[in-house]
Each structure stands twice: as C-alpha cells, then as structure tokens.
Amino acid sequence: MAKKLLIPTDGSGAAERAANFGLDWASQCGYEVICLSVIKPVEAVIGNSLEYLFIEEKDSIAKELLRLGEKAVKRIADKAEQKGLKIKTMTVEAAQVEKAIIDVAKKEGVEIIVIGMHGEGCSLLLGGEMGSVTRRLLACPPPCPVTVIPPN
C-alpha cells in the first residue's frame, strides 16, 4: 500500500508554501499526494441563532466558492504532475474544515498532513495568530502526524 500525504489548501499564500514543501517531501520520500479544499457553508443569522446554510449549486455564490476551491487544488495538482507525483484532488463541503481534513485523512489512510499557518513567530503554537483551522486541527487531535509550515 502506498504512503499518502495530505495537503489541505484554501488557496492562500500559506497553503501554497505548505504545498510546495509537501510536494518536495512527497517527491523525495515516495508519497502519493492528496490535495483537499474544503468549502464552508455560508453562515447566516436566522431568528436568534447562527445557522450554516449550504447554498444550492445553481447559486452564483456557491459556484464561485466551488470554482475557487477547484482552482486552488488544480494549481497544486499541476505542480505535482510536473514533479511526476501521483495526486488525487478533492473538494468537499463541510461546516468544520478541520473535521473534514480529519475525515479525509482517516478515509484515505493518510500518514502525514502538511498544512500552512498564518502569522509569525514560534509563540504562535500557543497563541492566537496561528490559523484557526490549523489550531483546531491540532486540537482535535488528528489521526496522523501534522507538519505545520510557518510563513516565510
């Protein structure tokens, strides 16, 4: 069974840096790559409570969110293919991005997750500027080791 490495992406610079690191690692160590983009539902206040609404596919906002997610994974897939790596791309809808990452990692038998973070400094692992998705992913805990790629 092939070793698998998961790269979640939101299309940000932090995600791109993590992807570059992950693809180099996959190339050196013989990992298959899974690239995942998680589309969050729109949050809306209905009455007195916050609700998550998955927009119908025909809606222009939903189409744009899906297009951006697919564009983000395609950029990484193109880089992977240039390196001769086997890559699987996925775009899923989920209210909790970190839970979707964990679910995919479990389902696909991923051995390592490579994710980017926003902000600066080592104290971020304890504090508030690390990306909220990365922080929540590490708190879950994930089913496999996670490599967090710092900015710059």
pTM of the model: 0.83
Contact 62, 40 (CB under 8 A): no
Cβ-Cβ contacts under 8 Å for 112 (sequence gap 6 or more): 5, 6, 31, 144, 145, 146, 147
Distance CA 66, CA 109 (A): 25
Distance CA 129, CA 107 (A): 30
Cβ-Cβ contacts under 8 Å for 128 (sequence gap 6 or more): none
| Token pair 């692992």: residue | 125
Instruction: Assess whether pLDDT exceeds 50 at residue 17.
Output: yes
Distance CA 110, CA 142 (A): 11
- pLDDT-derived band at 49, boundaries 50, 70, 90: low
Distance CA 52, CA 41 (A): 6
pLDDT digits (tens, 9 = 90+) for 53-108: 555 555 667 778 788 999 999 999 999 999 999 999 999 988 899 999 999 999 99
Which CATH number does 4-149 carry?
3.40.50.620
For the chain, which residues make up each domain, given as ranges?
A: 4-149
